[in-house]
A and B are shown apart, each in its own frame.
Chain A
Amino acid sequence: QLQLQESGPGLVKPSETLSLTCTVSGGSISSSSYYWGWIRQPPGKGLEWIGSIYYSGSTYYNPSLKSRVTISVDTSKNQFSLKLSSVTAADTAVYYCAGGDASVPAPPDPWGQGTLVTVSS
């Protein structure tokens, strides 16, 4: 059974780069069966799709974040990562990683438990 776990700093300074890692267990990160994605949720607010990456290396980013986002895969560690540059307080959120079936359009499932990242000096 696929399981995901986010990790990374809980506090990032404004203008710096937020970096998070998602460790995948119960499946291979390099499998063509899955896509991998990131979603965030500001405190007390709704969900926002950040982006996703497929086995082929294709990436899809939320247009509102595209200029600042990079999602990549590290097959040697069975992990994928998120980098968000030039952060501001508006980027404070719980960040979730998720996986999904890549064989057909499919919603993300399962999700990690989420990690809170606060942007503050």
Chain B
Amino acid sequence: EIVLTQSPGTLSLSPGERATLSCRASQSVSSSYLAWYQQKPGQAPRLLIYGASSRATGIPDRFSGSGSGTDFTLTISRLEPEDFAVYYCQQYGSSPPGTFGQGTKVEIK
């Protein structure tokens, strides 16, 4: 089973700053089947990125994903007030599919 470790646990930043979130896998994620989600309090997670770097429909271009193998990154180029939330990575290409990271909280500094 692939274990995903996200860092940091909490990121304290100001609006307008750049956010860099990391997701490291315990073994290689096949074909970069790695997704990123955003979750706000009381809401279901929203898909941001799939295939490590493809933005989902309607996701602003300030969100970008990169990486391959075991190291992946989600970058938010300039934080907007609505971007303060918890972010999860997920691998979906290996058996069993669907393992999530433990999450990174992006909070207002």
A residues sitting closer than 8 Å to B (CB atoms) are 37, 39, 46-49, 52, 60-63, 96, 100, 105-109, 111-114
Q: Is the interface of A mostly helix, strand, loop or mixed?
A: loop
B47 x A107 contact (CB < 8 A): yes
Total chain B interface residues with beta-carbon distance under 8 A? 24
Out of A46, A62, A63, which one reaches B103, CB within 8 Å? Answer: A46
B92 x A105 contact (CB < 8 A): yes
What are 28 pairs between A and B in contact, CB < 8 Å? A37-B98, A46-B100, A46-B102, A46-B103, A47-B88, A47-B90, A47-B103, A49-B96, A49-B100, A60-B96, A61-B96, A62-B96, A63-B1, A105-B31, A105-B33, A105-B97, A106-B50, A106-B92, A107-B35, A107-B47, A108-B47, A108-B92, A108-B98, A109-B56, A111-B44, A113-B43, A113-B44, A114-B44
B33 x A62 contact (CB < 8 A): no
A112 x B44 contact (CB < 8 A): yes
Q: Does chain A have a CB within 8 A of B99?
A: yes
Contacts of B35 in A (CB 8 A): 107
A107 x B100 contact (CB < 8 A): no
Contacts of A39 in B (CB 8 A): 98
Bitwise interface map of B from 68 to 93 toward A, beta carbon under 8 Å scored 1, else 0: 00000000000000000000101011
Chain A: CB-nearest residue to B94: A105
Contacts of A105 in B (CB 8 A): 31, 33, 92-93, 97
Q: Is the interface of B mostly helix, strand, loop or mixed?
A: loop
Q: How far is the CA of A48 from the CA of B103 in the complex (A)?
A: 11
Going nearest first, the 7 A-B pairs with the smallest beta carbon separation are A49-B98, A107-B35, A109-B47, A111-B44, A47-B100, A105-B93, A46-B102
Q: How far is the CA of A90 from the CA of B1 in the complex (A)?
A: 22
Known contacts: A105-B92, A107-B35. The answer to whether A49 contacts B99 by CB under 8 A is yes
Q: How far is the CA of A114 from the CA of B45 in the complex (A)?
A: 10
Q: How far is the CA of A62 from the CA of B95 in the complex (A)?
A: 9
